[in-house]
C-alpha cells in the first residue's frame, strides 16, 4: 500500500465528437481541464503536477508535455507524459495515483486527450507493430480483435448475435450521456445488417473514432476531504503488459485482465465480484469483448459470457450494470478513453452521474485495454479504504 | 478562402524513412526462409519454441541460442476474413477484398505465425484446418517471401 | 540546493556546451573552463564520462548521466574516476529552447 490514500476530487470532459475543427489540441485539452477545476472548486495554482498523455504518433506531435502547457496549465510545473497505447487513459490515472500515494505530491491534474480527426489513425496504429516481423503482414487493429472473437466463438459456440446484444445495451445507455459521441439506439437487426468489416465484426460492433479530452484531479488524503465531500477513493490499481508479437497472445481469453482482477480483488477482499461490485466501466473497444472479458473479470464463468449478458444482468437495472456511459462503442477519443472510464466511475461513486446514475454505488471498477491484449484495472470506493 | 481551408493545415506528403536492423536472429531466419524453411528458437528454461525466433524468452527472461526448424505446414489457430479495404502498409495500395488473415500454428512451434490466408472456398476456411505456405518466386529476405498460406486438401 | 557549487564534487550535464550558471558566476564559465576548473582533476569535474559530445543516444542520455554519477560515487569509473567522489549532479534537458529540465542530486550518504 502507498504512503497516502488517494481520492478523485473532480473530473471534466468535453462533449466528444467525430471531429472538432473549432479547436486545436491545446484548446481541446484546456476545455476538460477548466471543467475539472470547476468541478473540484480549485484553481490551476492548487495543482502540483500534470500527468498527460495521448496515443503515440496519432497527432504526429512529440513533446506533448511541453507543447500543451497553455492547455494543461503546466507552465513551470513538473509534467509527466505517459503513453501506453489503448491503456493510456488508465495508465495516466494510475500514474497520478502513484505520484500522490508516494507522499511526494498532493494534488495532480491528469489529462487524456485525442484528436483522431487530424490524422490517418489506421496508419498510425501500424507503428505499434514490429517493422521487421509484423507490419508487412498486418491487416489492421480490427482484424486482431476479429481473430480473438472468432477463437472464442469456435470454442464456446457464441455468435455475432451475442455481440449485437452488447451493442444494443451500450448504445441505449449512451442516450443518457450528453458527453457520448453516438447517442442513438440501435437494434440487433441493425447491427447484424451493418457492413461486415472483418468476420465476425460488423461496422456497428466496433468503436468510433472521436475527438475529445478528459481531466481528472486526484488529491492526497491530507487535503481531499477539505476540497469536497463528494470523493471517489482509489482502493486498488493494477496493470499487466504483455506482447512481443501478436502471434504470442492467447486468443479468446484476456489473460492480463484475469491476472490483475484476481490481484485487486484479493487486496480489497472481493470474492464474488458480480455481487460485491456495483457498476463497471469496461474498456470495451468492440462488442464481443463485452462477452469475453467479463469472464476474465470473474463476473461469470468462462464460456457463459453470452448467456450472462442476455439475462439482462449487465443492463442498467441488472445485478451489475456495465457501461452506463455507453462505453467505448459510443465514444472513443483513444488517449482519453481509459481516463473517461475512470472519470465515469468517479461520477457514479460521487453521485454526480445525472441521468446515467446507478443508485447506491459503493464499490466500482474501471478498466483499460491495450491493442495486444494488455490491461489495467482500478477499484474505486465511496468510503475511505482502511488500509 | 473557404471555411475548410481556414481551419485546417495539411502536413504535406513527406515520407519519413527508417532502416531497421534485423539482427543476428532475424538474419538466420530470413536466410532460411529464402530456402523455404522456417526457424524458431527454443528456450533452455521452459522449452517453448518461439516463432518468429528471438534472443530472449520473455516470461523466463533467458537468452535463447538453440534454433529449431518448424513447419512448414501447420494448422489455422484463429483467423478472420477482411471485407473492408485496408491500405497495405507495404505497397500503400488497397488490398483487394475479401482476403484472409490469421495465425498459423506451425508444426513444432508454440507461438503462432501471423500471415495472410488465401481463400479459394470460404466454407473450408476453419479453425483447425491444415495449411501450407505459398512462397514467392523471387525471395528478398523479408516476411513477404511467404505470399500467404493455403489450405491443404 | 543552494549556491554552494563547490560542495558538488562532480557534475554530469546534458548538452553542456554552456556550464550551468549556479556552478559559476555569470560570465565566468569560459575563463574557469580554460583555467581547468572543470577538468577531471579540477575543483569541480564536469562530464568525466565525456558527456553527450562523446556519444548521444538521445532518450537514454539523461538516465546515462545518472548511471555515470552512480559509478563515480561507487568508485567504479575506472580511468575517468574522480578522486573521492561523494556527491554528484545529473542534469537532463528537453526541447529546442531548453523548455524542460530535470535535475538529480546523488550522494554517497543516505
Grid coordinates in use for B27? 538474419
Q: Each residue of A15-66: pLDDT tens digit?
A: 999 999 999 999 999 999 999 999 999 999 999 999 999 998 889 888 889 9
Judgement on whether residues A187 and A219 belong to the same structural domain of the protein: no
Decide: B81 and B113 in contact? Cβ < 8 Å: no
Q: Each residue of A354-374: pLDDT tens digit?
A: 999 999 999 999 999 998 799
Q: Each residue of B82-113: pLDDT tens digit?
A: 998 777 766 777 888 999 999 999 999 999 99
Measure the CA–CA gap between B51 and A250, rounded to whole angstroms.
Answer: 15
Helices A141-156 + A289-296 axis angle, to 10: 70
Residue A123 touches partner B, C-beta closer than 8 Å = yes
pLDDT-derived band of residue B6, with 50, 70 and 90 as boundaries?
low
Grid coordinates in use for A99? 505520484
Measure the CA–CA gap between A74 and A51, rounded to whole angstroms.
Answer: 9
Report yes or no on A387 lying in a domain. no
What lies within 8 Å, CB to CB, of A269 at 6+ separation is none
CB contact under 8 A, C94 and A63: yes
CB contact under 8 A, A247 and B143: no
DSSP class of residue B109?
A: -
**Chain A residues inside the 8 Å CB shell of B143:** 132-134, 136-137
What's the pLDDT at C13? Answer: 62
**Chain A residues inside the 8 Å CB shell of C99:** 63, 66
Q: What angle do CA B140, A135, A91 make, to 5 degrees?
A: 150
CB contact under 8 A, A132 and B22: yes
Judgement on whether residues A90 and A58 belong to the same structural domain of the protein: yes
A49-53 vs A79-81, strand pairing mode:
parallel
What's the pLDDT at C14? Answer: 52
- Which of C97, C99, C101, C102 best probes binding to A when mutated, by most A CB atoms within 10 angstroms? C99
Measure the CA–CA gap between A356 and B118, rounded to whole angstroms.
Answer: 47
What lies within 8 Å, CB to CB, of A157 at 6+ separation is none
Measure the CA–CA gap between A201 and A293, rounded to whole angstroms.
Answer: 16
Q: Each residue of A90-113: pLDDT tens digit?
A: 999 999 999 999 999 999 999 999
CB contact under 8 A, A198 and B82: yes
Chain A, window 307-366: residues with a beta carbon less than 8 angstroms from a chain B beta carbon: none
**Chain B residues inside the 8 Å CB shell of A147:** 78-80, 101-103
Judgement on whether residues A215 and A74 belong to the same structural domain of the protein: yes
What's the pLDDT at B5? Answer: 61
Measure the CA–CA gap between B35 and B29, rounded to whole angstroms.
Answer: 10
- Which of B80, B92, B97, B144 best probes binding to A when mutated, by most A CB atoms within 10 angstroms? B80
Mean residue pLDDT of chain A comes to 95
Strand order in the sheet with C100-107: C10-12, C87-94, C100-107
Q: What is the ipTM of this complex?
A: 0.91
What lies within 8 Å, CB to CB, of A205 at 6+ separation is A160, A163, A164, A167, A191, A194, A197, A286, A287, A288, A329
What's the pLDDT at B27? Answer: 97
pTM for the whole thing?
0.92
Strand-pairing partners, residue B148, are B134
Judgement on whether residues A171 and A303 belong to the same structural domain of the protein: yes
Task: Measure Cα distances from B118 to A137, B21, B76, B103 in Å.
Answer: 13, 30, 12, 13
What's the pLDDT at C17? Answer: 43
Question: Could you give the percent of chain A with pLDDT greater than 90?
Answer: 89
Decide: A51 and A80 in contact? Cβ < 8 Å: yes
Grid coordinates in use for C2? 543552494
Smallest Cβ distance to A134: which of B51, B83, B114? Answer: B114
Measure the CA–CA gap between A234 and A190, rounded to whole angstroms.
Answer: 39
- Give A143→chain C minimum CA distance, Å: 33
Grid coordinates in use for A21? 475543427
Last residue of a domain, one of A227, A257, A276: A227
What's the pLDDT at C56? Answer: 84
CB contact under 8 A, B22 and A21: no
The CATH number of whichever domain residue A205 belongs to comes to 3.40.47.10
Tell me which residue range forms the domain holding A160: 129-209+235-381
What's the burial of B12, exposed, middle or buried (CB within 10 Å: 0-12/13-18/19+)?
exposed
What's the pLDDT at C58? Answer: 83
Residue A190 touches partner B, C-beta closer than 8 Å = no
- Give C104→chain A minimum CA distance, Å: 14
Grid coordinates in use for C110? 543516505
What's the pLDDT at B145? Answer: 96
Judgement on whether residues A85 and A152 belong to the same structural domain of the protein: no
What's the pLDDT at B90? Answer: 66
- Give B66→chain A minimum CA distance, Å: 19
What's the pLDDT at C57? Answer: 87
CB contact under 8 A, A139 and B116: yes
Contact yes or no, A with C (3+ CB pairs under 8 Å): yes
Q: Is A63 left (phi over 0), alpha (psi -120 to 50) or beta?
A: left
What's the pLDDT at B12? Answer: 80
Q: Each residue of A149-172: pLDDT tens digit?
A: 999 999 999 999 999 999 999 999
How many independent structural domains does chain A possess? Answer: 2
Judgement on whether residues A116 and A195 belong to the same structural domain of the protein: no
Measure the CA–CA gap between A332 and A346, rounded to whole angstroms.
Answer: 18
Last residue of a domain, one of A177, A201, A227: A227
Chain A, window 49-68: residues with a beta carbon less than 8 angstroms from a chain C beta carbon: 63, 65-66
DSSP class of residue A195?
A: P
What lies within 8 Å, CB to CB, of B58 at 6+ separation is A244, A248
Per-10-residue mean pLDDT for chain C, 110 residues long? 38 52 75 89 90 86 92 95 92 82 92
Q: Which residue of B has its CA nearest to A155?
A: B127
What's the pLDDT at C11? Answer: 64
Q: Each residue of A265-322: pLDDT tens digit?
A: 999 999 999 999 999 999 999 999 999 999 999 999 999 999 999 999 999 999 999 9
Chains that touch B (3 or more CB pairs under 8 A): A
Last residue of a domain, one of A194, A227, A260: A227
Q: Which residue of B has its CA nearest to A152?
A: B78
The residue-averaged pLDDT of A178-197 equals 97
Grid coordinates in use for A270? 472481493
CB contact under 8 A, A79 and C95: no
Question: Could you give the percent of chain A with pLDDT greater than 70?
Answer: 100
B74-82 vs B130-135, strand pairing mode:
antiparallel
Residue A353 touches partner C, C-beta closer than 8 Å = no
Measure the CA–CA gap between A219 and A37, rounded to whole angstroms.
Answer: 12
For chain B, give every domain's residue range: 23-151
Amino acid at each position: 500500500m502507498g504512503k497516502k490514500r488517494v481520492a478523485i476530487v473532480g473530473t471534466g470532459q468535453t462533449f466528444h465528437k467525430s471531429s472538432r475543427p473549432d479547436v486545436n489540441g491545446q484548446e481541446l485539452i484546456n476545455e476538460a481541464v477548466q471543467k475539472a477545476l470547476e468541478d473540484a472548486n480549485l484553481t490551476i495554482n492548487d495543482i502540483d503536477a500534470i500527468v498527460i498523455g495521448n496515443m503515440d504518433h496519432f497527432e504526429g506531435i512529440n513533446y506533448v508535455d511541453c507543447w500543451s502547457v497553455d492547455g494543461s496549465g503546466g507552465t513551470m510545473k513538473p509534467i509527466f507524459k505517459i503513453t501506453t497505447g489503448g491503456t493510456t487513459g488508465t495508465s495516466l490515472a494510475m500514474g497520478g495515483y502513484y505520484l500522490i500515494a508516494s507522499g511526494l505530491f498532493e494534488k495532480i491534474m491528469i489529462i487524456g486527450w485525442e484528436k483522431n480527426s487530424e490524422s490517418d489513425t489506421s496508419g498510425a496504429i501500424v507503428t505499434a507493430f514490429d517493422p521487421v516481423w509484423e507490419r508487412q503482414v498486418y491487416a489492421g487493429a480490427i482484424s486482431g480483435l476479429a481473430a480473438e472473437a472468432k477463437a472464442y466463438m469456435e470454442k464456446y459456440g457464441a455468435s455475432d448475435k451475442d455481440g449485437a446484444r452488447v451493442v444494443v445495451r451500450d448504445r441505449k445507455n449512451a442516450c443518457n450521456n450528453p458527453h457520448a459521441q453516438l447517442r442513438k439506439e440501435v437494434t440487433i437487426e441493425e447491427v447484424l445488417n451493418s457492413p461486415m468489416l472483418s468476420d465476425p465484426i460488423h461496422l456497428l460492433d466496433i468503436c468510433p473514432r472521436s475527438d475529445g479530452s478528459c481531466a481528472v484531479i486526484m488529491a492526497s488524503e491530507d487535503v481531499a476531504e477539505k476540497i469536497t465531500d463528494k470523493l471517489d477513493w482509489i482502493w486498488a490499481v493494477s496493470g499487466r503488459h504483455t506482447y512481443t508479437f501478436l502471434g504470442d497472445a492467447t486468443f479468446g481469453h484476456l489473460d492480463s485482465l484475469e491476472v490483475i482482477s484476481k490481484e485487486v480483488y484479493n487486496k480489497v477482499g472481493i470474492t464474488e465480484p458480480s455481487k460485491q461490485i456495483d457498476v463497471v466501466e469496461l474498456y470495451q473497444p468492440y462488442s464481443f469483448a463485452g462477452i469475453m472479458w467479463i469472464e476474465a473479470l470473474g463476473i461469470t464463468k468462462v464460456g457463459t459470457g453470452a448467456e450472462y449478458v442476455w439475462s439482462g444482468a449487465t443492463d442498467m437495472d441488472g445485478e451489475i450494470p456495465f457501461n452506463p456511459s455507453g462505453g467505448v462503442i459510443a465514444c472513443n477519443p483513444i488517449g482519453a478513453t481509459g481516463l473517461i472510464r475512470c472519470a465515469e466511475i468517479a461520477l457514479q461513486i460521487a453521485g454526480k452521474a445525472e441521468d446515467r446514475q446507478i443508485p447506491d454505488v459503493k464499490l466500482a471498477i474501471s478498466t483499460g485495454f491495450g491493442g495486444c491484449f494488455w490491461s489495467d484495472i482500478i477499484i474505486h470506493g465511496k468510503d475511505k479504504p482502511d488500509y | 478562402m473557404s471555411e475548410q481551408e481556414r481551419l485546417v493545415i495539411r502536413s504535406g506528403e513527406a515520407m519519413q524513412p527508417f532502416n531497421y536492423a534485423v539482427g543476428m536472429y532475424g538474419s538466420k531466419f530470413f536466410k532460411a526462409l529464402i530456402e523455404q524453411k522456417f526457424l524458431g528458437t527454443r528456450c533452455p528454461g521452459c522449452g517453448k519454441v518461439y516463432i518468429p525466433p528471438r534472443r530472449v524468452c520473455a516470461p523466463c527472461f533467458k537468452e535463447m541460442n538453440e534454433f529449431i526448424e518448424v513447419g512448414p505446414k501447420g494448422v489455422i489457430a484463429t483467423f478472420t476474413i477482411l471485407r473492408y479495404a485496408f491500405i497495405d502498409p507495404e505497397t500503400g495500395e488497397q488490398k483487394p477484398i475479401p482476403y484472409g488473415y490469421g495465425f498459423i500454428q506451425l508444426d513444432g512451434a508454440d507461438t503462432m505465425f501471423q500471415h495472410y490466408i488465401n481463400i479459394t472456398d470460404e466454407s473450408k476456411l476453419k479453425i483447425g484446418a491444415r495449411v501450407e505456405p505459398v512462397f514467392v518466386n523471387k525471395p528478398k529476405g523479408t516476411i513477404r517471401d511467404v505470399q500467404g498460406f493455403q489450405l491443404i486438401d | 540546493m543552494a549556491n554552494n557549487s563547490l560542495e558538488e564534487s562532480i557534475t554530469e550535464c546534458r548538452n553542456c556546451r554552456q556550464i550551468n550558471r549556479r556552478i559559476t558566476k555569470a560570465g565566468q564559465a569560459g575563463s574557469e573552463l580554460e583555467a581547468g576548473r572543470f577538468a577531471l582533476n579540477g575543483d569541480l569535474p564536469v562530464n568525466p564520462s565525456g558527456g553527450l559530445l562523446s556519444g548521444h543516444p538521445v532518450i537514454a542520455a539523461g538516465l546515462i548521466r545518472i548511471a555515470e554519477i552512480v559509478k563515480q560515487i561507487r568508485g567504479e569509473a575506472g580511468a575517468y574516476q574522480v578522486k573521492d567522489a561523494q556527491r554528484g549532479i545529473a542534469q537532463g534537458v528537453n526541447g529546442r529552447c531548453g523548455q524542460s529540465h530535470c535535475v538529480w542530486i546523488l550522494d554517497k550518504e543516505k
